[in-house]
């Protein structure tokens, strides 16, 4: 087999959910955010593992993702949709029992007209200016909306991965004043917010990235392992080059492995000449440019001829790759390609 092998440790996902759940009081519910196909890891398998671990409420970005999740989970767990109730969503919301987080006057009107009595939540904008109702809008509608018994009133923090950022406290204060005195359950914290402490937990937390082993949850167990098979090994003389654009030239004789995997598999070209792969514990520098399907790797210093090299694993996390590529772990995970052979492990074999 010549495709990369992506192993997703479902026990680690479950352990991360439990560890984040343990960071808030027992009275605080811990949900699970599984948007974007569970951050690229597969919403069916991941969703079922989280439900088995105890998650009872799930969040997705759009109704279509809710449909895929409902298929995997069956009836029971509550599935909430961040983008709210868009035109065209009504039948899906109704038939699959999805709960829209209503973001605007337009969505509230649509929802109350199209599905009276159907559960809903509300998203408030406390300063991120992305989704949710503005304080002025909310003040005008609050009594009416609250009288309909929202399942949740939520907002989202813009800077929760920077604990000292003044925006955190500012958004907390806006959220407190917008929700003062209401009975509906409230939620403000994603992974970063959980780590900011109990002031941010309210009734429900919504971790995503921490479940998948990513920062800012430093204690997370690693979830993803990516091993790339070696397709060919060749010996180079000094002065020979590797890959497109001759961007790496051997200064001395070198041995180069060509592995299967490239930017079409989510291994961004920004890793060119920067990243390392691992053979067991030994780092092996990536040579030259990342191609669409292939990567050159320096194995001059290895005694053995490796059959595969590790791109993501115990020695290198998605956040490490993100750091090299100038992005965030979220983007590395969600870009993991469709070509990999995926294995879902219970514990790392």
Ligand X SMILES: *Cc1c(COP(=O)(O)O)cnc(C)c1O
- Least distance (Å) between residue 33 CB and ligand X: 4
Contact of 100 with 121, CB cutoff 8 Å: yes
In this chain, which stretch among 49-57, 170-178, 200-208, 241-249 interacts with ligand X, using CB under 6 A?
A: 200-208
Alpha helices in 132-290 (DSSP H): 135-147, 166-178, 191-196
The answer to whether residue 207 forms part of the interface with ligand X (CB under 6 A) is: yes
- Do residues 297 and 271 touch, judged by C-beta distance below 8 A? no
Chain residues 4-33 in contact with ligand X, contact rule CB under 6 A: 33
Please identify, among the stretches 106-114, 136-144, 187-195, 233-241, the one whose residues bind ligand X according to the rule CB under 6 A. Answer: 187-195
100 binds ligand X (CB under 6 A): no
CA distances (Å), 249 to each of 62, 173, 295, in order? 47, 57, 15
35 vs 142, beta carbon nearer ligand X: 35
Nearer to ligand X, 15 or 294 (CB): 15
Using the contact rule CB under 6 A, the part of the chain among 6-14, 45-53, 208-216, 270-278 near ligand X is 208-216
Is 307 one of the catalytic residues?
A: no
Question: Facing residues of 341 across strands?
Answer: 5
Q: Is 186 in the site for ligand X (CB under 6 A)?
A: no
**Catalytic site includes residue 305:** no
Q: Which residues contact 231 (CB under 8 A, 6 or more apart)?
A: 2, 258, 259, 260, 294
In the complex, what is the shortest distance from the CB of residue 211 to ligand X, in angstroms, rounded to a whole number?
A: 8
Nearer to ligand X, 216 or 337 (CB): 216
One symbol per residue from 69 to 98: x for binding ligand X (CB under 6 A), - otherwise; what is it?
A: -------------x----------------
* Contact indicator for 327, 268 with CB cutoff of 8 Å: yes
Residue nearer to ligand X on the CB measure, 208 or 243: 208
Beta strands in the chain (DSSP E): 5-9, 29-30, 32-33, 57-60, 78-81, 98-102, 121-123, 153-154, 186-187, 204-205, 224-236, 241-242, 248-249, 254-260, 276-279, 282-287, 294-298, 308-312, 341-345
Q: Structure tokens of 28?
A: 């605080």
Of 51 and 294, the one with the shorter C-beta distance to ligand X is: 51
Establish how many alpha carbons lie within 13 A of residue 215's alpha carbon, considering only the half-sphere containing its beta carbon.
Answer: 15
Residue with nearest beta carbon to ligand X: 208
Contact pick of 85, 110, 186, 206 for ligand X (by CB under 6 A): 206
Q: Interhelix angle for 43-53 vs 10-21, to 10°?
A: 50
Query: Which 151-180 positions form the footprint of ligand X (CB under 6 A)?
Result: 156
DSSP 127-147: SS-SSSB-HHHHHHHHHHHHH
Q: Pick from 47, 100, 208, 266 the residue near ligand X by CB under 6 A.
A: 208
Binding mask 119-158 for ligand X (x = CB under 6 A): -------------------------------------x--
| Closer of 124 and 242 to ligand X (Cβ) | 124
Residue 194 has a CB neighbour count (10 Å cut-off) of 24
Binder of ligand X out of 79, 98, 190, 325 (CB under 6 A): 190
Closest CB to ligand X among residues 215, 290: 215
Calpha distance 42→160 (Å, rounded):
26
Shortest separation between residue 206's beta carbon and ligand X, angstroms:
4
CB–CB of 48/69 below 8 Å? Answer: no
Stretch that binds ligand X, among 40-48, 206-214, 268-276, 286-294 (CB under 6 A): 206-214
What is the C-alpha separation between 303 and 288, in angstroms, rounded?
22
Q: Does 48 bind ligand X (CB under 6 A)?
A: no
Q: Which residues are catalytic?
A: 35, 244
Point out which residues bind ligand X (CB under 6 A): 33, 35, 82, 156, 190-192, 206-210
């Amino acid at each position: 087999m010549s495709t990369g092998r992506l192993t997703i440790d479902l026990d680690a996902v479950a352990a991360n959910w439990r560890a984040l759940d343990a960071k808030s009081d027992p009275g605080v519910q811990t949900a699970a955010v599984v948007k974007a196909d569970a951050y690229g890891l597969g919403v069916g398998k991941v969703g079922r593992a989280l439900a088995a671990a105890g998650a009872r409420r799930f969040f997705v970005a759009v109704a279509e993702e809710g449909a895929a999740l409902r298929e995997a989970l069956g009836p029971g767990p509550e599935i909430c949709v961040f983008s709210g109730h868009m035109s065209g969503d009504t039948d899906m919301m109704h038939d699959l029992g999805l709960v829209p987080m209503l973001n605007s006057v337009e969505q509230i009107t649509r929802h109350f007209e199209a599905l009276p009595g159907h559960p809903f939540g509300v998203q408030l904008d406390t300063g991120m200016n992305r989704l949710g109702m503005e304080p002025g809008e909310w003040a005008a509608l609050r009594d009416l909306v609250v009288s309909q018994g929202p399942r949740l009133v939520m907002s989202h923090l813009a800077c929760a991965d920077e604990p000292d950022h003044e925006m955190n406290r500012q958004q907390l204060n806006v959220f407190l004043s917008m929700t003062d005195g209401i009975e509906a359950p409230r939620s403000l914290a994603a992974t970063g917010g959980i780590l900011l402490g109990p002031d941010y937990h309210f009734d429900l937390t919504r971790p995503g990235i921490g479940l998948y082993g990513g920062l800012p949850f430093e204690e997370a167990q690693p979830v993803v392992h990516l091993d790339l098979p070696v397709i060919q090994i060749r010996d180079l003389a000094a002065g020979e080059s590797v890959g497109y654009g001759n961007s790496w030239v051997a200064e001395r004789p070198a041995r180069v492995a060509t592995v299967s995997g490239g930017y079409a598999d989510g291994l961004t070209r920004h890793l060119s000449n920067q990243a390392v792969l691992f053979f067991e514990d030994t780092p092996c520098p990536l040579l030259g440019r990342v191609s669409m399907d292939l990567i050159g790797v320096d194995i001059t210093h290895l005694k053995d001829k490796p059959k595969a090299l590790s791109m993501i694993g115990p020695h290198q996390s998605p956040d490490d790759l993100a750091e090299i590529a100038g992005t965030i772990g979220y983007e590395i995970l969600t870009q993991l390609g469709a070509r990999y052979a995926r294995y879902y492990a219970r514990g790392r074999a």
